[in-house]
Chain A
Amino acid sequence: MTTPESGQDRTDRSPWNWLLFVPIVLPLLTFLFNADEPRLAGFPLFYWLQLAFIVVGVACTTIVYRMTK
C-alpha cells in the first residue's frame, strides 16, 4: 500500500476551476451567435464568433493551469 504521508495534502479543488465553466457554457448559448450580421472579413457572425470562442477556451484553460500549477 501507499505510505501514509504520500500526497495527503494535495487537492485539486480551486476557485479558479470555476473559470473553466465559461468555455463549457458559452458555446452552448446558440442565441448569442445564430446571426449573419455583423460579418467579419466575409465570415457571418455564426462562424467567426464560434471560432473566437476557441480563443476564450484557450485563455480560460491557460489561466486556470497557471494559477493551479
Chain B
Amino acid sequence: MNPGEHVTEIVIFTVLFLVVSGMGFVAARWRRPQDLASLNEWGLGGRNFGSWITWFLVGGDLYTAYTFVAVPALLFGAGATGFFAVPYTVIVYPLVFLILIRLWSVSHVHSLVTPADFVRVRFGSPTLALLVAITGIVATMPYIALQLIGIEAVLKTMGIAGSGFLSDLPLIIAFVILAAYTYQSGLRAPALIAFVKDILIYLVILVAIIYIPARLGGWEVIFGRAQEKFAATPAQGDGILLNANNQLQYFTLALGSALALFLYPHSITGVLASKNRNVIKRNMSALPAYSLLLGLIALLGYMAIAAGVKPIGTDNNTVVPVLFDQMFPDWFAGIAFAAVGIGALVPAAIMSIAAANLFTRNIYREYINPQATDAQEAGVSKLTSLVVKVGAVLFILLIDPQFSIDLQLIGGVIILQTLPSVAIGLFTRWFHKAGLIAGWVAGMGGGLILLYNISNPAIKHAHFGGSAFPLAKLGLDTKMTIYAGFLALLLNLIVAVAGTLIARAAKVPDGPDGTRPDHFTADEGDPRVKDLDLSSST
C-alpha cells in the first residue's frame, strides 16, 4: 500500500505513540520511590499497586496487541475454533483466584520476585529453579516478538512496512523508545501507559462493534456471510460451529492456554506487584470485563469476512487493521492503529522485565554473584531487559512472522511444563525434586516431539505447524485432534509421580523446604523473612 494515502493515519498514530512514550519516561517519578535501584522498585513497582493500577496492569498484560490482531485473524481463517480465546479467559480468573494468590503470599513473606525464586525456596533445588527460569525466558522471547507483529501489521496497513531494512526502521524506532523508557522507569512505565492503552482500546472497540455491524447490515448478515465463506472452502475444520473432530482440541486448548497463561513470568510479575491479597481477589472478579471485549474483538474476524477484506499478502494478521482502514474515517483509523501499537508496548515492557528478573535472580545471583546487592540486581535486570528486547527485534527481522507464531505455540507448550513445580508446588510438597526434574525433561522432550509432528499444509509447514495434534498419529482410529501441551503436561505429571516414588524408594536426598504452611496465606502487614540466605542450602 502507498503511505501517501495514509497521511492522516500516520500523523495521528505517531503523535499518540510519542505522547505515550513521554509518559513512560515520566513514570519513573510516579508514586515517587526513594530509590529505583532495587528489583522491588524497578521490577515490581514497589509491590504497592492498588486495585485500579493492578486492573489496568494485569489486563494490559494479558490482552496484548497480538490478541487484538491474531484472535480475529483466527476466526477470519478458521471460524469457531478461534473463539477458544473466550472460554480460555473465563477459566483463567478462578484459577488465579485459587492458585496464584498463594504465590503472592509466599512471595511477600520471602521477598520473591520470580516463579523460579519460589521453586528455589520450596524445593531447595537450584537446578530445578534454573530449569524453571530458563523455561520462562525461552517462552517469553517469542511472546515479545509477537507484540511486534501486532505493530508490524498496523504499519503494513499504513503502507510503511514491508521488506528490506529501511522499511523495518519505524518498527526499530518504536522498540528503541520502548527499551529506553522501560530501562529508566521499570514496571512503573507499563503500569502508567496501560491506562491510556485501555481507554483507547475500549473507545475503538465500542465504536467498532456498533458502527461496523450497522454499516454491514447487522449481525445476522455478518454470521451469514462467514457461514457462506466456510461452506465454500475445501477445509474440513472450519465453520461457524465446531465439528466432531475439533471439540476435544477446543476445550483442551482453552484449558491448557489458561493454565499456561498464569505460569508465564509476566502474568506473575503483574500479580506480585499488587499491594495485598484483596487487590488480587477483587481484580479476578473484575478483570473478566476484558473477556467480554475480547469476545467482541474476536468477531471482528467475521466482520472482516462480511466486509470482503483481503489481507495484505498472505498475512492474516493484517485483516483487523485493513478492516479499520476500510470502514473508519482516516482520523479514527489513526486512533485505532495507535491503540493497537500502544497495546503492544505495555505487554512487551512487562514481559522483558519479567524475563530480565528471571535472569537476574535465578542465573546471575544464583551462579555468578551470590552476594549481589539490591542495586547490582536492579542494574543487571535493566541491562538484561535491553538484551531481551534486542533479541525480540531480531526475531522479527530475521524470521518469517508466520514462524514466530509457531514459536509462540511452542512457548505455551513449554511454559506448561513448569506447572508441577510452580502451581502444584503451591499446594503440596509431596513431589521430590528429582521427580520434578525428570517430569520436566519428559514433558519438554515429549512436547517438542509432538509439535515437530504437527504439519500445516495451509502455511506449507511440515513441522511445528500448530498446536493441534492428530490423535491418529498415536494409532487411534479417529480424526480428532488434541492440544499438544495437554498431552505433554500429562506425560510430565506421570513421570514426576513415578520419579518421586523411585527417588523416595532409593532414598535420594530431597532439598529442604524453606516455607511454612502459614506463609501461603500471609497478607499485607505480616512480617517477612528478610534476607533469607539462599546460597547456604543445596
- Contact among A12, A31, A36, A47 with B520 in the assembled complex (CB-CB below 8 Å): A12
- Type the 1/0 row for A36-69, where 1 means its CB is closer than 8 Å to any CB of B: 1001011110110011011011101110110011
* Contact between chains at A7 and B522 (CB < 8 Å): yes
Tell me whether B223 is interfacial, beta carbon within 8 Å. yes
* Contact between chains at A57 and B90 (CB < 8 Å): yes
- Could you give 9 example pairs across A and B, Cβ below 8 Å? A1-B529, A2-B516, A2-B528, A3-B527, A7-B522, A20-B98, A27-B86, A56-B90, A61-B97
CA distance A53 to B91 in the complex (A): 10
* Contact between chains at A23 and B219 (CB < 8 Å): no
Chain B interface secondary structure, helix, strand, loop or mixed?
helix
The chain A residue with its CB closest to the CB of B290 is A54
A22 CB to closest chain B CB (Å) equals 8
* Contact between chains at A42 and B529 (CB < 8 Å): no
Known A2-B519, A6-B527, A54-B295; further 7 A-B contacts with Cβ < 8 A: A2-B529, A6-B518, A12-B102, A12-B521, A17-B98, A54-B292, A57-B93
- Contact among B89, B241, B527 with A44 in the assembled complex (CB-CB below 8 Å): B241
The chain B residue with its CB closest to the CB of A59 is B285
Which one of B173-181, B250-258, B343-351, B500-508 is at the A interface? B250-258
Q: Which residues of B contact A51 (CB under 8 A)?
A: 86, 292, 295
* Contact between chains at B240 and A44 (CB < 8 Å): yes
CA distance A17 to B96 in the complex (A): 12
The chain A residue with its CB closest to the CB of B252 is A28
CA distance A68 to B250 in the complex (A): 33
Among B85-109, those with CB < 8 Å from A are: 86-91, 93-95, 97-98, 101-102, 109
CA distance A46 to B239 in the complex (A): 12
Tell me whether B327 is interfacial, beta carbon within 8 Å. no
* Contact between chains at B526 and A43 (CB < 8 Å): no
Considering the complex of A and B, which 10 residue pairs feature the smallest CB-CB distances, nearest first? A42-B219, A27-B87, A61-B285, A20-B94, A62-B285, A42-B220, A28-B251, A30-B247, A10-B521, A57-B90
* Contact between chains at A43 and B521 (CB < 8 Å): no
Q: Which residues of A contact B109 (CB under 8 A)?
A: 2
* Contact between chains at B83 and A53 (CB < 8 Å): no
| Contacts A41-B219, A53-B90 given; does A2 touch B527 at CB 8 Å | yes
CA distance A61 to B285 in the complex (A): 5
Per the CB 8 Å criterion, the residue count for chain B at the interface is 52
* Contact between chains at B241 and A27 (CB < 8 Å): no
CA distance A2 to B515 in the complex (A): 11
Q: Which residues of A contact B527 (CB under 8 A)?
A: 2-3, 6
Which one of B228-236, B276-284, B368-376 is at the A interface? B276-284
CA distance A61 to B101 in the complex (A): 13
Tell me whether B299 is interfacial, beta carbon within 8 Å. yes
* Contact between chains at B522 and A61 (CB < 8 Å): no
Tell me whether B134 is interfacial, beta carbon within 8 Å. no
CA distance A34 to B246 in the complex (A): 11
Among B149-184, those with CB < 8 Å from A are: none
Q: Which residues of B contact A11 (CB under 8 A)?
A: 521
* Contact between chains at B83 and A47 (CB < 8 Å): yes
* Contact between chains at B251 and A30 (CB < 8 Å): yes
* Contact between chains at A35 and B241 (CB < 8 Å): yes
B144 CB to closest chain A CB (Å) equals 28
Q: Which residues of A contact B95 (CB under 8 A)?
A: 24
Q: Which residues of B contact A42 (CB under 8 A)?
A: 218-220, 222-223
- Contact among B80, B90, B98, B518 with A54 in the assembled complex (CB-CB below 8 Å): B90
Q: Which residues of A contact B291 (CB under 8 A)?
A: 54, 57
Tell me whether B288 is interfacial, beta carbon within 8 Å. yes
CA distance A27 to B95 in the complex (A): 13
- Contact among B94, B222, B519 with A61 in the assembled complex (CB-CB below 8 Å): B94
* Contact between chains at B521 and A58 (CB < 8 Å): no
Tell me whether B441 is interfacial, beta carbon within 8 Å. no
A25 CB to closest chain B CB (Å) equals 9
- Type the 1/0 row for B494-538, where 1 means its CB is closer than 8 Å to any CB of A: 000000000000000000000010111111001111000000000
Q: Which residues of A contact B23 (CB under 8 A)?
A: none
- Contact among B93, B94, B289 with A21 in the assembled complex (CB-CB below 8 Å): B94
B283 CB to closest chain A CB (Å) equals 10
B213 CB to closest chain A CB (Å) equals 8
CA distance A11 to B523 in the complex (A): 11
Among B207-230, those with CB < 8 Å from A are: 218-220, 222-223
Tell me whether B205 is interfacial, beta carbon within 8 Å. no
Q: Which residues of A contact B292 (CB under 8 A)?
A: 51, 54
CA distance A3 to B251 in the complex (A): 46
**Candidate in B219, B247, B292, B526 with the most chain A CB atoms within 10 angstroms:** B219
The chain A residue with its CB closest to the CB of B532 is A1
* Contact between chains at B284 and A30 (CB < 8 Å): no
* Contact between chains at B518 and A34 (CB < 8 Å): no
Q: Which residues of A contact B288 (CB under 8 A)?
A: 54, 57-58, 61
CA distance A6 to B284 in the complex (A): 26
Among B243-277, those with CB < 8 Å from A are: 247, 250-251, 254-255
**Candidate in A2, A17, A46 with the most chain B CB atoms within 10 angstroms:** A2
The chain A residue with its CB closest to the CB of B295 is A51
CA distance A26 to B91 in the complex (A): 9
* Contact between chains at B523 and A10 (CB < 8 Å): yes
* Contact between chains at A27 and B91 (CB < 8 Å): yes
Tell me whether B242 is interfacial, beta carbon within 8 Å. yes
Q: Which residues of A contact B94 (CB under 8 A)?
A: 20-21, 23-24, 57, 60-61
